[in-house]
């Protein structure tokens, strides 16, 4: 009987970690081999404010690099908005950094068309994109509450999927 109790305890501890690993795998997220702090940056926000990554410390951050002319970016934006609305009051945020050059007007039109409510930053000179070595659009970085990079996704994802919810919930714990 004593062994059964230990087995139940071991399973209770191990199963959430297995589920989390499965969710990361299902989303095809790249995990860093060692803990790395996310590099802080400042970008102008779409509505004129200044956005700093460090302002979101203590929250789980989905940092997304995108452009209005990028079809895969358009594909994933609705699911990002649904994910944001589901978890924004639970310590989660999205910071979507547009690399569109020129006027912010196309970005504003895109945001309005898709009904996006999460913070939008502007990086027309690719300074932040280069800082994060972005080589494909969209590129998404997950940052935990302590400010550590936990995963990278290159290309579109369904951020309103069961796996995405499991990843966010695991990082929120």
Over residues 9-64, the pLDDT tens digits come to: 443 444 344 445 687 788 888 898 888 999 999 999 999 999 999 999 999 999 99
14 membership: H or E segment, kind and range? helix 2-26
Count of domains for the chain: 1
Whether 146 is in a domain gets the answer yes
Return the number of other C-beta atoms located less than 10 Å from residue 44's C-beta.
15
Q: What is the mean pLDDT of the chain?
A: 90
Whether 108 is in a domain gets the answer yes
pTM for the model stands at 0.87
CATH number of the domain at 133, please. Answer: 3.40.30.10
Three-class SS of residue 74?
helix
Structural domain boundaries, residue 125: 30-157
Q: Residues 133-152, buried b or exposed e (16+ Cβ, 10 A)?
A: ebeebbbbbbbbbebebbbb
Band of the pLDDT at 7, cuts 50, 70, 90? Answer: very low
Whether 3 is in a domain gets the answer no
Whether 72 is in a domain gets the answer yes
Whether 25 is in a domain gets the answer no
């Amino acid at each position: 009987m004593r062994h059964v109790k230990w087995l139940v305890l071991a399973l209770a501890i191990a199963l959430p970690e297995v589920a989390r690993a499965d969710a990361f795998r299902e989303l095809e997220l790249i995990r860093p081999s060692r803990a790395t702090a996310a590099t802080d940056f400042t970008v102008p926000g779409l509505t004129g404010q200044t956005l700093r990554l460090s302002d979101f410390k203590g929250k789980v951050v989905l940092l997304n690099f995108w452009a209005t002319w990028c079809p895969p970016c358009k594909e994933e934006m609705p699911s990002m908005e649904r994910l944001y609305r589901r978890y924004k009051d639970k310590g989660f945020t999205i910071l979507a950094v547009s690399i569109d050059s020129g006027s912010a007007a196309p970005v504003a039109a895109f945001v309005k068309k898709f009904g996006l409510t999460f913070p939008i930053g502007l990086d027309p000179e690719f300074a932040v994109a280069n800082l994060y070595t972005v080589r494909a659009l969209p590129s998404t970085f997950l940052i935990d509450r302590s400010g550590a990079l936990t995963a990278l996704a290159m290309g579109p994802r369904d951020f309103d999927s069961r796996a995405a919810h499991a990843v966010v919930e695991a990082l929120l714990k």
